[in-house]
Chain A
C-alpha cells in the first residue's frame, strides 16, 4: 500500500483528494454557498426550478402545443443552461471517480420518481421557487417568504416520510423487483470513465468559451453550473437529506452541510444587497429585492408543503434530482421528466386560476430588513439556523425524533 502511494505523483495525489472519496457535506455546502454568491455578484442567485421549467417549455415548443413559441430557447436561458451544465458537471464528477452507471430501479420506484417530480413542479410553480430559489438562496436573501416556504417544506417532508415508511411495511414489493445496472466503472475495465470524464470537461470549457464573445454572463453560468454539479455529486449535497434524515436515521451531517452553505450565502448576499454591489442600471431597491418573491405567506406555505412531499417521494429535490440524473440514477430521470412535463402545465393552467381567487394581501414580497433592519434580519436568519443546528445535533444524540 505504502509503495503504491509513493508512486503517485503530486498531481495524482491532488486528483485523489477530489475523486477517490466523497467529500464531507459541509465542504460541499461552503463551496456551493460561495458559488451562489458569485452568481449573485454577476447576475442573480442560484435557482433550479426555473431552469427545469425552461426545459419543459422547450419540449412543448418543439411539439408545438400550449402556444409557447415565444418561450426562451434553452441556449439563451441562463437558468436553463445552469441546470443543464449542473447535470453535465455531475456526470463529469461521477466519471472521474468511476461512480457513473445506468442504475435502473424496480418499476414502483420509477412511478414514485415521476409522481414526486410532478409534485415538485406543482409546489415550485405555486410556491414560486424550490429548495434552491426559495430556500438555499431565499433564506440568505432575507426573504420572509423563504422562511415560510421552509416551514412548509419541513411539514411536507415529515408527511411523505411517514408515507414511505408505511409503504415499506405494507407494500414492500413496490420498491423491490427486477433492477438493472449498465456501464458501471468498477475494477480495471472502468478506466474508460476517467477518459470520458476529461473529454466531457474539455467540451464543457469549449462551449463556455464559445459564449465569451457576446454573452460573458452565460460563460460564467456554464462554468459555475458545471462546478455546482461536480461538487454536489462529490459531496452528495442533498437538501431532502438535510430535512429528512433527522427524522429517519437521526443523521445530522447532511443538515449541517446545508447550514454551512446557508451561512456563507447569508454573509455574501447581505454584503451585495447592503452595498448594492452589481447594481448596474437598475435601482438599488431592485437589487435589494432580488430573490424576494411575492409569496408571503400563502403561496410559500402551500408550495413548500407540496414541494416537500414531492422531493421526499422522488428522493431528490430540484438540484438533487439533477445531479443524480448526471450520475445515471434512472429513478431521478423519471423525477426530472415528471418535473419538466408538469411544470409548464401547472404554470399555465393550474396556478393562475387559484392565484386569482386568493386575496393579494395573502401574497406579497416580504423583505425582512424592511421590518427588522439589516442587523435584525441577519440575526433572525442566523438564529433560525442555530436553532435548527441545536435540534439536529440533540436529536442525533438522543434519537427522540428519529424513526430508526
Chain B
C-alpha cells in the first residue's frame, strides 16, 4: 500500500549540509505521525539520514532509488 505523503521536500542538486539542514527544518514543522517525502541526489544523505532518524527517534519508512540518480526517502515524524 502506498504511504500517504503530507509534504515533499526537494533537495535535488544540493550538497552537504543543505539537505540535512532543510530536512531537519521541514520535520520540525510537521505534526506527529505526518510523513515527509524527501528527494535528493547527494550520496552523503544515504548515510546521514538513517543515522539522524535513529538519533532523533523519527522513523525512516522507506528508502528507494528513482531513475536519474535520485534517492527518495519517506520519514515519519515521531
A327 contact from B17, B22, B43, Cβ within 8 A: B43
The complex places the Cα of A203 from the Cα of B60 at a distance, in Å, of 41
Q: In the docked arrangement, what's the CA distance between A204 and B25, Å?
A: 43
The verdict on A248 contacting B17 (CB below 8 Å), with A181-B41, A181-B70, A187-B65 known, is: yes
Of the candidate stretches A98-106, A299-307, A350-358, the one touching chain B is A98-106
B68 CB, min distance to chain A CBs, angstroms: 5
A30 smallest CB distance to B (angstroms) = 18
> Which of A179, A185, A251 contacts B51, CB < 8 Å?
A251
Q: If A101-B69, A249-B24, A404-B24 touch, does A244 touch B17 (CB 8 Å cutoff)? A: yes
Chain A residues 239-263 with CB under 8 Å of chain B are 240-241, 244-245, 248-251, 253
Chain B 13-52, CB within 8 Å of chain A: the 1/0 string? 1111110111011001000000000000111101110011
Is A207 among interface residues, defined by CB-CB distance under 8 A? no
Among B12, B21, B55, point to the contact of A251 (Cβ < 8 A).
B55
B59-78 interface code vs A (CB 8 A; 1 in, 0 out): 00000011111100000000
Q: How far is the CB of B51 from chain A (nearest CB, A)?
A: 6
> Chain B contacts of A181 at CB under 8 A?
12-13, 41, 68-70
Once A251-B51, A329-B42, A404-B28 are accepted as A-B contacts, the answer to whether A186 and B69 lie under 8 Å apart by CB is yes
Contact between A241 and B25, CB atoms less than 8 A apart: no
Residues of B within 8 A of A179 (CB): 12-14, 41
Chain B, interface SS category: mixed
| Chain A contact patch, size range | 35 or more
CB distance from A103 to the nearest CB of B (A): 5
Contacting residues, chain B, for A106 (C-beta < 8 A): 13-14
A315 within 8 A of B: yes
A185 touches B14 (CB 8 A): no
A259 to chain B, nearest CB (A): 17
B15 proximity list for chain A (CB < 8 A): 103, 105, 109, 315-316, 324, 329, 331-332
| Chain A residues, Cβ within 8 Å of B55 | 249-251, 396
Chain B interface: which size bin?
20 to 34
Is the pair B16, A184 in contact by a Cβ cutoff of 8 Å? no
Contact of A404 with B25 in the complex, beta carbons under 8 Å: yes
**Set B18, B24, B47, B51: member contacting A109, Cβ < 8 A:** B18
CA distance A404 to B58 in the complex (A): 13
- A22 and B46 in contact (CB under 8 A), knowing A109-B14, A184-B68, A251-B51? yes
Cβ-closest chain B residue relative to A250: B55
Nearest neighbor of A104 in chain B, beta-carbon distance? B13
Q: Are A236 and B47 in contact (CB under 8 A)?
A: yes
* A385–chain B nearest beta-carbon distance, Å: 22
Report yes or no: B48 in contact with A251, Cβ–Cβ below 8 A: yes
Closest partner residue, chain A, to B27 (CB atom): A404
Looking at the complex, which one of B22, B28, B47 makes contact with A22 (CB distance below 8 Å)? B47
Chain A's nearest CB lies how many Å from the CB of B2? 21
| CA of A248 to CA of B70, assembled, Å | 24
* B68 touching A249, Cβ below 8 Å: no
> Once the chains bind, are A236 and B44 in contact (CB under 8 Å)?
yes
Q: Find the residue from B14, B15, B46, B66 having the highest chain A CB count within 10 A.
A: B15
Q: Which residues of B contact A77 (CB under 8 A)?
A: none
**Residue A175 at the B interface, CB < 8 A?**
yes
Residues of B within 8 A of A187 (CB): 65, 67
* A17 on the B face (CB < 8 A): no
Interface contact B65-A186, CB-CB below 8 Å: yes
Q: Which residues of B contact A241 (CB under 8 A)?
A: 16-17
Q: Does A176 contact B (CB under 8 A)?
A: yes
A–B pairs, 12, beta carbons within 8 Å:
A94-B43, A168-B25, A175-B22, A181-B70, A184-B69, A184-B70, A238-B16, A245-B17, A249-B55, A251-B55, A329-B15, A329-B42
Q: Which A residues fall within an 8 A CB radius of B? A: 22, 94, 99, 101, 103-106, 109, 164-165, 168, 175-176, 179-181, 184-187, 236, 238, 240-241, 244-245, 248-251, 253, 315-316, 324, 327, 329, 331-332, 396, 403-404
Known: A176-B10, A249-B52. 4 other contacts (CB 8 A): A99-B43, A105-B15, A184-B68, A403-B24
